[in-house]
Structure 1
Amino acid sequence: MSVGSSLSTDSSPLWAFLLCSAFSVRTLVQGEVLVIGSNLPIIAAPGDDVILPCHLEPLFDVRGLTVEWSQPDLKPDPSDRLSRVEYVHLYRDRKEVPDMKLASYFRRTELFMDDLKHGNISLKILNVSEEDSGRYRCFIPKLRSSVKAAIVQLVVDPNFAKTSTTETLLDPAILQTPDPRDTTSGNAGRSRVSAVIVVVAFISVAALAAYFCLRRKQNKYPNDGIQSQP
């Protein structure tokens, strides 16, 4: 037996193990539920109501989990002897926990409760001010995933033209993972299929017509193309 064939035979179990491991890792990553925020900053004018977008992908029901919204750059209050963690918004045990909220956000924040089952954990902040500018972190501590949190940047600029579309552009219905029962994409797909069928049918008819014309010509002039013998 040659050295090359010996190495090939001996390494077969190793290659099989590596391939199986790679497949398992890929399957795990593809099957994970990820927390996704916004890559672009959310810009608003003072007094606007804004929505900080954050959702889970693929669709995942978070009603039974804890959802934390906090400001990671906020320095702890030195007067708080208990060093309590205070949140912009805290959802736990299927309800809001106002006792652990920062006082400046009291009665100013809310989640879209009906959309939690779709994995939409976007936060709505009412009547924002320049003091609200900064980074916000949405976090699901008990989510079995390598990506449990996302960061959203809020910029409150007095020079930004106040508009009623700030909230509309960030409508949670747009951010929400599409409902599998939604037939919009299906209708579009059927339209494309119909167009392809029409084109194929047209080409088939044209080819068939050309074939019959050729056969008719051959039947009419059977000796065309045949040279006479000397």
Structure 2
Amino acid sequence: MSRLSSSSYTFPLWTLILCSAFLITPVQGEVVVIGSNLPIIASPGDDVILPCHLAPTFDVQGLTVEWSKPDLKPDPSDRLSRVEYVHLYRDRQEVPDMKMASYFRRTELFMDDMKHGNISLKILNVSEEDNGRYRCFIPKLRSRVKAAVVELVVDPNVAKTSTMAPLHPRNFPTPDPQDTTQRHGENTVQLFSASSLFGVLCICGDLLVFSTSAGRSRVPVVVIVVTLLLVLTLAGFAAYFSRIFQKLKQKHQKDDETQKQPLQV
């Protein structure tokens, strides 16, 4: 009976150690899709770039990239109708057959920059009909944030100017943390919270096994309780400072964009 009791505690204690290690390790570095938190403003006839990239940089040449207008829905009366794309990249090339007619020969990706994670879309000779939200989406990206939304505003009252955005991913603006499609500013916190929750569940399970198993443990209960409190404290501090860091980073980048944005007459 003593052997059985001893071995019954070996597994949950090892599980506790592994779960605790997983809990206190920040889940960072996941590749996410980032658009722009500011609308792209242009006048009719301008060539524009809708910025979208992956962070950290990631080669997307072998993946499918979809640019669409999420506000356009299929005709419910026509079961065979489908939502066509503004631009579709698949098998390392554009797929024009599934493209909206109004964007034919007017859109392109920066093929040479896709290896760096740049999936920005260039639209030529925009008009007021191009107004609206555009969604860049990588369906097979192993990430929780596979899409981002960029808004284009074509206003005839805006003086004609260059609306070309920088092509290098590090110069792109950060996403709006309130956007419903992308939440890169909160991504690290969300991932960390998920891992924290998983770790807490593991620890609670271990404590449950500890309290319900027969026999006497060689490890005092106080050690497990102190470990649990320490892990929860570290998780809370890490999540808090990560969120503060993201807010400061977004504010700094917004200030830089405001200073660099040309005055519009």
TM-score by structure 2 length?
0.56
- 1:173 is aligned to 2:168: yes
Q: Is the 8 A contact 1:141 1:148 kept in 2?
A: yes
CA distance in 1, matches of 2:78, 2:92: 28
Q: Is the 8 A contact 2:54 2:169 kept in 1?
A: no
Letter paired with 1:57: A
Q: Which moved more, 1:15-24 or 1:58-67?
A: 15-24
CA distance in 1, matches of 2:98, 2:128: 23
1:96 to 94, 97, 101: 94
Shift of 1:91: 0.2
Q: Is the 8 A contact 2:67 2:137 kept in 1?
A: yes
User: CA 1:67 to 1:161, structure 2 compared with 1: closer, same or farther past 3 Å?
Assistant: same
User: CA 1:175 to 1:157, structure 2 compared with 1: closer, same or farther past 3 Å?
Assistant: farther
Shift of 1:46: 0.6
Q: Which residue of 1 aligns with 2:21?
A: 20
5 Å-filtered alignment, 1:137-152, equals: 137-152=135-150
Structure number with greater Rg is 1
Q: Which residue of 2 aligns with 1:183?
A: none
Shift of 1:72: 0.3
CA distance in 1, matches of 2:96, 2:78: 17
SS at match of 1:154: strand
CA distance in 2, matches of 1:117, 1:176: 16
Q: Is the 8 A contact 2:63 2:92 kept in 1?
A: yes
Q: Which residue of 1 aligns with 2:55?
A: 57
Shift of 1:17: 4.5
CA distance in 2, matches of 1:14, 1:93: 43
CA distance in 1, matches of 2:171, 2:65: 16
Shift of 1:94: 0.3
Q: Is the 8 A contact 2:34 2:148 kept in 1?
A: yes
CA distance in 1, matches of 2:34, 2:23: 25
5 Å-filtered alignment, 1:72-83, equals: 72-77=70-75, 81-83=79-81
* TM-align CA RMSD: 2.4
Letter paired with 2:56: P
5 Å-filtered alignment, 1:103-114, equals: 103-114=101-112
Aligned residue pairs total 163
SS at match of 1:162: coil
Letter paired with 2:84: E
TM-score by structure 1 length?
0.65
1:127 to 116, 125, 128: 125
